[in-house]
Amino acid sequence: MQIKVENNKAWFLVLPVFLIVAFSAIIPLMTVVNYSVQDIFDPYTRYFVGTEWFKQVMLDSRLHEALLRQFLYSFTILAIEVPLGICVALMMPTKGRGASLALILVAIPLLIPWNVVGTIWQIFGRADIGLFGAFMSSIGVDYNYASDPTDAWLTVVLMDVWHWTPLIALLCYSGLRAIPEVYYQAARIDQASRWAVFRYIQLPKLTNVLIIGVLLRFMDSFMIYTEPFVLTGGGPGSSTTFLSQSLVQQAIGQFDLGPAAAFSLVYFLIILLVCWVFYTTIMNMQKDK
Partner 1 sequence: MTQSSTKPIEHAYKVTKEQAPVYSRAERKIRNANLRGRFGLALYIVLLLLPIYWLVNMSFKTNTEILSGLSFFPENFTLANYAKIFGDPTWYMGYVNSIFYVSMNMVISLLVALPAAYAFSRYKFIGDKHMFFWLLSNRMAPPAVFLLPFFQLYSSVGLFDTHIAVALAHCLFNVPLAVWILEGFMSGVPREIDETAYIDGYSFPKFFVRIFIPLIRSGIGVTAFFCFMFSWVELLLARTLTSVDAKPIAAIMTRTVSASGMDWGLLAAAGVLTILPGMLVIYFVRNHVAKGFALGRV
**Restricting to residues 104-143, which ones interact with partner 1 according to CB under 8 A?**
104-116, 119-121, 123-124, 128-132, 134
Q: Which residues lie below 8 Å from residue 114, measured CB to CB, with a gap of 6+?
A: 226, 227, 230
Distance CA 256, CA 278 (A): 33
Residue 17 as a binder of partner 1 (CB under 8 A): the answer is: yes
Judged by CB under 8 A, the stretch of 61-69, 74-82, 139-147, 219-227 that binds partner 1 is 219-227
Binding partner 1 by CB under 8 A: which of 53, 73, 153, 267?
267
Name beta bridge partners: 45.
42
**Closer to partner 1 at the Cβ: 4 or 287?**
4
> Cβ of residue 236: shortest distance to partner 1, in angstroms?
19
**Closer to partner 1 at the Cβ: 13 or 59?**
13
Judged by CB under 8 A, the stretch of 53-61, 71-79, 82-90, 144-152 that binds partner 1 is 82-90
Distance CA 265, CA 271 (A): 10
* Interacting positions 52-81 with partner 1 (CB under 8 A): none
Q: What is the DSSP letter of 249?
A: I
Residue 252 as a binder of partner 1 (CB under 8 A): the answer is: yes
Distance CA 231, CA 241 (A): 11
Q: How many CA atoms lie within 13 A of 234 on its CB side?
A: 14
> Cβ of residue 157: shortest distance to partner 1, in angstroms?
15
> Cβ of residue 222: shortest distance to partner 1, in angstroms?
7
Amino acid in the structure at residue 138: S
Q: DSSP characters for 263-275?
A: HHHHHHHHHHHHH
Phi, psi for 82 (deg, rounded to 5): -65, -55
C-alpha dist (Å) from residue 44 to 1, 35, 39, 266: 55, 13, 11, 27
Judged by CB under 8 A, the stretch of 48-56, 60-68, 148-156, 167-175 that binds partner 1 is 167-175
Q: How many chain residues are in contact with partner 1, going by CB under 8 A?
A: 100
| C-beta separation of 132 from 125 below 8 A | yes
Residue 150 as a binder of partner 1 (CB under 8 A): the answer is: no
* Interacting positions 186-205 with partner 1 (CB under 8 A): 188-189, 191, 194, 205
> Cβ of residue 237: shortest distance to partner 1, in angstroms?
20
> Cβ of residue 281: shortest distance to partner 1, in angstroms?
14
Q: Where are the beta strands (DSSP E) in 66-123?
A: none
